């Protein structure tokens, strides 16, 4: 068992996705951020079905940093309600876990 999570957010602007990624890594809140896209998102919002092109940020961090990562994303994100979800990493290559832990700030 370890304290590593993968946090996901999406945004409709590639440059803003890159800004989120760079800021999280610069602040050592994440060891890495992968940006994938464009992807097409279809979702229901305020009673309507929406379709938008987005970029997905896949963030590797410590579970203990989740709240700081969430706050940083909310400051940089322009959506009224951004997707910010964390997935616990139960099993992973030991060296990779060590790298994530070493590249993020200690508690």
What does DSSP assign to residue 81?
A: S
Size (the chain), residues: 107
Joined tokens for residue 42: 């279809």
Q: Is residue 56 classed exposed, middle or buried when 0-12, 13-18 and 19+ CB atoms within 10 A define those classes?
A: middle
pLDDT tens track for 18-65: 999 999 999 999 999 999 999 999 999 999 999 999 999 999 999 999
pLDDT tens track for 65-99: 999 999 999 999 999 999 999 999 989 999 999 99
Question: Do 15 and 74 meet the contact criterion of CB atoms below 8 Å apart?
Answer: no
Which helix (H) or strand (E) segment holds residue 51: the answer is strand 48-62
Q: How far apart are CA 96 and CA 98, in angstroms?
A: 5
């Amino acid at each position: 068992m370890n304290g590593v999570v993968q946090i996901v957010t999406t945004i409709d602007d590639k440059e803003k996705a890159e800004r989120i990624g760079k800021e999280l890594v610069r602040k050592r809140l994440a060891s890495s951020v992968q940006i994938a896209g464009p992807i097409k998102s279809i979702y229901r919002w305020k009673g309507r079905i929406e379709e938008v092109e987005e970029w997905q940020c896949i963030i590797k961090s410590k579970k203990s940093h989740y709240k700081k990562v969430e706050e940083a994303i909310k400051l940089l994100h322009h959506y009224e309600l951004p997707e910010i979800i964390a997935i616990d990493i139960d099993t992973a290559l030991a060296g990779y876990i060590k790298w994530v832990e070493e590249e993020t700030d200690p508690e």
